């Protein structure tokens, strides 16, 4: 076995002692010692600087140094080299001090002559102890580096609940330096958190010797904000048998917020997908459903017209008509929600449009609700369907009014926003770009999260049975999506609601229309009887701006007098149904002017009056109404064909619809005044056109053998000047675009339609 070689530095000023020591080492059987002998401290320090040694044999009393200061100087020069003290005195106190200062052993020179192996054994043991200490220090350093590299909070607490470890992450998280808390009671570490709860959990994990988790532990950050911690308490057994504990964890505030945001966005995505699915389903059934309603409504009108004297039958038919019209309105709203309603897009200033509708909104919500406008400066360019814009604002205002039964404030705002990455963190479904935002805010009761999550679903309502269809907000959602925008709702119980509608900003190169809400008007003279001054003024302005000559009255008496004198050769009368003695007034008006057209306005009509109006063919316009509804109703009323009108040659009308019941209704309604040919498919219609010319083509759009757009195109090749009226329950944007490419000008009748609507459309072309 090869003996190890040990390099010794002997620092001894006594030649005799040096000789004795070297002789003792030479006879050591376990190792070979190479000894370098110096007599002064300065020489020893120089040697250690130039050449390392495995061990230093040091006499404390040297010519240039004495006492423990000699040991201190050697330790400073070579802190990792083991030192064995050689001294002539057997001083226990001095020996203890030397060991405390880092010496590995303390030998009395006199003993070495008695115990010959003592020196060699002491040297070997000293070297091994030093190596062990070095290994331990290296392991501790590695552990410290590992703990430092961990990005989690690490706090060590001993069995007496004193802090023994406090890493840099703990310092940064709590704003407390390690020097301030080490060896201090854990309860006095200066952190605002549940100290008692942590110590109670620590006691449980010590007792059971299992880790304990503390999730979402509240604490106060150094900046004063509230945060959350996720901690694990791990019991640590000490050599005495008692247990301390280790706290391991992290500040999970941002993670918690991110997870909450992720869940919120996921819920909103699921909600959006659900609304898309409902929309596709609603749009899919709407066409067939409108055909069914068309048959019900159409034949009810025919029967009612032929049995005017049977009041009991007329009353029953009126219930059928009323139910069918209500169902038709719901289907139209479903089509709006499913984004299948055709849009007449115009570029206009949203500020101007909102200002123009503000009076209508105030009338709608009533005097108990104050309507305020906060419009952004400049022109807010949007490309919207003006009627759709009216409908959205009307529905939102109605919703706000119902949320404030005791009154309140309704704020309508406009502004422009830029959607970018930062914006999408809260609205991830938004697309980048510039948007014009229309906001409607109320001071009502607000909504809880459960209600807000369903507010845009069709037929969802919090109102009592019979007081709402649950389609108002669904229509808003569908119209906004159809305009390639998006909706955001901000609400909480007790904080009101704010609906934000975002519409893409219209390009600057598109021409701006100053009056996008223009409707078909006329030059006829109209009388208006309305007790409410605000409504009277509103109706007057809408009709007058559309070209009509208008005379208004607060009560029916002056209007009747004017008709009796003949001074007012009016073609139509707009009459509020709430005036006193309205039934007798209607009888009187018929006696005075049998040809006078009458349009009733009503916000709630008794069934008896409704039946009377239906019996006499008087249309009813439900309040509140937008200008488009008033003007369209007036135009349809004036365009009806009077029964007494003299006729020349009977015009020929070709009717095309694959639904036999709809075909039968149209034929039976028109055949008394026109020569009617009815067919059920496009190919059959083309054969009829080739056989003889027609004065009008009345056709459905959705048919199995040949759709209406193809039929119209082929028909115009045969007869280029042929007028066309389209009947449809669902006009898609794609179909509307196809019709526009043909340059076709025609009337479009929305199923279900009444007899007067169909007659008005036909007569306009004949």
pLDDT of res. 339: 45
**Residue 279 pLDDT > 70:** no
Mean pLDDT value of segment 348-364: 84
pLDDT of res. 721: 72
Q: Could you report the per-residue pLDDT of 163-193, keeping only the tens digit for each?
A: 888 888 888 888 888 888 888 888 888 888 8
pLDDT of res. 644: 36
pLDDT of res. 374: 92
pLDDT of res. 267: 66
CA distance 323 to 293: 10
CA distance 666 to 659: 11
**Residue 411 pLDDT > 90:** yes
pLDDT of res. 645: 39
Mean pLDDT value of segment 113-139: 77
CA distance 139 to 338: 70
pLDDT of res. 635: 84
* Residue among 119, 120, 96 nearest 108 (CA): 119
pLDDT of res. 20: 80
Mean pLDDT value of segment 102-111: 80
* Residue among 37, 34, 32, 45 nearest 15 (CA): 37
CA distance 605 to 611: 10
Of the two residues 664 and 605, the one the predictor is more confident about is 664
**Residue 723 pLDDT > 70:** yes
Confidence grade of residue 656 (pLDDT, cut at 50, 70, 90): very high
Of the two residues 569 and 715, the one the predictor is more confident about is 715
Residue 151: φ, ψ to 5°: -90, 25
CA distance 619 to 624: 15
Residue 130 token pair: 């030093």
Q: Across the chain, how many H-helices and E-strands are there?
A: 26, 29
Confidence grade of residue 382 (pLDDT, cut at 50, 70, 90): very high
pLDDT of res. 283: 55
Of the two residues 265 and 226, the one the predictor is more confident about is 226
**Residue 568 pLDDT > 60:** no
pLDDT of res. 442: 92
Mean pLDDT value of segment 522-548: 83
Confidence grade of residue 498 (pLDDT, cut at 50, 70, 90): very high
pLDDT of res. 241: 62
Of the two residues 276 and 24, the one the predictor is more confident about is 24
Q: Could you report the per-residue pLDDT of 192-212, keeping only the tens digit for each?
A: 888 888 888 888 888 888 888
Query: Please, what sign has the CA dihedral across residues 100, 103, 109, 114?
Result: positive
pLDDT of res. 194: 86
State the alpha helices, DSSP H only, in 307-385: 311-337, 350-365
User: Averaging pLDDT over each range in 334-348, 472-486, 610-624, which range is the top one?
Assistant: 472-486
Which segment of 104-118, 206-220, 721-735 scores lowest on mean pLDDT?
104-118
pLDDT of res. 321: 72
Q: Could you tell me the pTM of the whole model? A: 0.42
Classify residue 381 by burial, with Cβ atoms within 10 Å: 0-12, 13-18, 19+: buried
pLDDT of res. 415: 93
CA distance 404 to 529: 31
* Residue among 74, 15, 71 nearest 43 (CA): 74
Q: Could you report the per-residue pLDDT of 417-476, keeping only the tens digit for each?
A: 988 877 877 777 778 889 999 999 999 888 888 787 777 776 666 655 445 556 677 778
3-state secondary structure of 430: coil
State the alpha helices, DSSP H only, in 556-659: 556-565, 582-592, 607-615, 627-638
pLDDT of res. 582: 83
Q: How many other CB atoms sit within 10 Å of the CB of residue 420?
A: 11
Q: Could you report the per-residue pLDDT of 513-532, keeping only the tens digit for each?
A: 766 655 567 778 889 998 88
For residues 639, 643, 645, 646, the Cα torsion angle rounded to the nearest 10 degrees is: 140
Query: Which residues does residue 32 pair with via DSSP β-bridges, in sequence order?
Result: 5
| Contact (CB, 8 A) for 113 and 86 | no
**Residue 240 pLDDT > 80:** no
Of the two residues 327 and 155, the one the predictor is more confident about is 155
**Residue 342 pLDDT > 60:** no
Mean pLDDT value of segment 253-277: 69
For residues 104, 108, 109, 112, the Cα torsion angle rounded to the nearest 10 degrees is: -80
Residue 747: φ, ψ to 5°: -90, 145
Of the two residues 192 and 307, the one the predictor is more confident about is 192
- Average pLDDT over the chain reads 80
**Residue 214 pLDDT > 60:** yes
Residue 534 token pair: 């605000």
Q: Around 723, how many Cα atoms within 13 Å sit in the side-chain half-sphere? A: 14
pLDDT of res. 343: 65
3-state secondary structure of 452: helix
Query: Which residues does residue 697 pair with via DSSP β-bridges, in sequence order?
Result: 654, 724
3-state secondary structure of 103: coil
Query: Could you write out the DSSP letters of every residue in 63-92?
Result: TTEETHHHHHHHHHH-TTS-EEEEESS--H
Query: Please, what sign has the CA dihedral across residues 398, 403, 406, 409?
Result: negative
Confidence grade of residue 91 (pLDDT, cut at 50, 70, 90): confident
């Amino acid at each position: 076995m090869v003996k190890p070689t040990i390099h010794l530095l002997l620092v001894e000023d006594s030649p005799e002692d040096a000789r004795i020591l070297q002789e003792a080492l030479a006879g050591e059987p376990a190792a070979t010692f190479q000894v370098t002998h110096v007599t002064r401290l300065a020489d020893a320090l120089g040697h250690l600087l130039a050449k390392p040694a495995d061990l230093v044999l040091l006499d404390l009393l040297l010519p240039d140094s004495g006492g423990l200061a000699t040991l201190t100087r050697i330790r400073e020069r070579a802190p990792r080299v083991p030192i064995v003290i050689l001294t002539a005195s057997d001083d226990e106190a001095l020996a203890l001090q030397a060991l405390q200062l880092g010496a590995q052993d303390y030998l009395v020179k006199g003993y070495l002559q008695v115990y010959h192996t003592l020196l060699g054994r002491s040297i070997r043991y000293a070297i091994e102890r030093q190596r062990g200490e070095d290994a331990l220090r290296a392991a501790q350093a590695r552990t410290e580096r590992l703990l430092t590299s961990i990005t989690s909070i690490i706090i060590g607490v001993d069995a007496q609940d004193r802090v023994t470890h406090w890493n840099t992450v703990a310092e940064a998280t709590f704003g407390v330096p390690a020097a301030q808390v080490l060896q201090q009671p854990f309860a006095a570490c200066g952190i605002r958190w549940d100290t008692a709860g942590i110590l109670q959990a620590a006691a449980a994990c010590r007792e059971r010797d299992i880790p304990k988790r503390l999730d979402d532990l509240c604490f106060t950050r150094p900046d004063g904000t509230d945060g959350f911690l996720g901690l694990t308490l791990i019991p640590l057994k000490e050599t005495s048998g008692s247990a301390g504990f280790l706290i391991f964890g992290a500040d999970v505030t941002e993670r918690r917020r991110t997870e909450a945001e992720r869940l919120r966005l996921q819920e909103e995505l699921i909600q959006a997908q659900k609304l898309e699915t409902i929309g596709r389903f609603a749009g899919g059934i709407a066409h067939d459903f409108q055909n069914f309603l068309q048959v019900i409504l159409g034949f009810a009108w025919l029967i009612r017209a032929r049995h005017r004297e049977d009041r009991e039958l007329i009353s029953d038919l009126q219930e059928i008509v009323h139910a069918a019209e209500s169902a038709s309105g719901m289907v139209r709203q479903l089509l709006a929600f499913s984004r299948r309603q055709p849009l007449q897009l115009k570029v206009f200033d949203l500020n101007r449009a909102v200002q123009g509708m503000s009076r209508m909104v105030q009338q709608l919500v009533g005097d108990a609700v104050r309507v305020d406008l906060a419009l952004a400066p400049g022109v807010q360019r949007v490309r919207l369907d003006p009627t759709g814009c009216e409908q959205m604002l009307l529905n939102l205002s109605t919703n706000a009014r119902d949320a404030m039964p005791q009154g309140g404030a309704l704020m309508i705002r406009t502004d422009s926003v830029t959607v970018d990455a930062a914006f999408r963190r809260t609205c991830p479904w938004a697309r980048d770009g510039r948007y014009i935002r229309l906001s409607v805010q109320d001071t009502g009761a607000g909504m809880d999260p459960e209600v807000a999550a369903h507010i845009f679903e069709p037929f969802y309502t919090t109102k009592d049975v019979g007081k709402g269809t649950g389609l108002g907000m669904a229509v808003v959602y569908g119209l906004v999506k159809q305009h390639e925008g998006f909706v955001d709702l901000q609400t909480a119980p007790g904080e009101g609601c704010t609906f934000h509608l975002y519409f893409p900003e219209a390009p600057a190169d598109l021409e701006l229309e100053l009056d996008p809400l223009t409707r078909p008007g006329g030059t006829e003279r109209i009388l208006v009887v309305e007790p409410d001054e605000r409504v009277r003024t509103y109706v007057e302005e809408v009709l007058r701006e559309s070209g009509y000559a208008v005379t208004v009255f607060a009560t029916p008496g002056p209007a009747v007098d004017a008709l009796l004198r003949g001074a007012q050769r009016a073609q139509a009368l707009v009459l509020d149904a709430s005036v006193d003695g309205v039934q007798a007034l209607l009888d009187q008006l018929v006696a005075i002017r049998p040809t006078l057209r009458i349009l009733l306005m009503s916000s709630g009509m008794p069934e008896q009056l409704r039946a009377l109006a239906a019996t006499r063919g008087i249309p009813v316009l439900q309040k509140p109404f937008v200008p488009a509804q008033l003007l369209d109703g007036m135009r349809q009323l004036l365009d009806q064909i009077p029964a007494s009108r003299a006729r020349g040659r009977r015009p020929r009308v070709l009717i095309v619809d694959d639904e036999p019941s709809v075909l039968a209704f149209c034929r039976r309604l028109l055949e008394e005044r026109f020569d009617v040919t009815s067919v059920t498919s496009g190919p059959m219609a083309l054969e009829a056109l080739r056989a003889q010319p027609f004065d009008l083509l009345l056709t459905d759009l959705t048919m199995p053998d040949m759709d209406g757009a193809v039929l119209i195109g082929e028909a115009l090749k045969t007869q280029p000047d042929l007028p066309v009226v389209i009947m449809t329950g669902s006009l898609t944007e794609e179909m509307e675009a196809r019709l526009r490419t043909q340059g076709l000008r025609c009337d479009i009748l929305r199923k279900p339609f009444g007899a007067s609507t169909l007659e008005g459309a036909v007569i306009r072309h004949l």
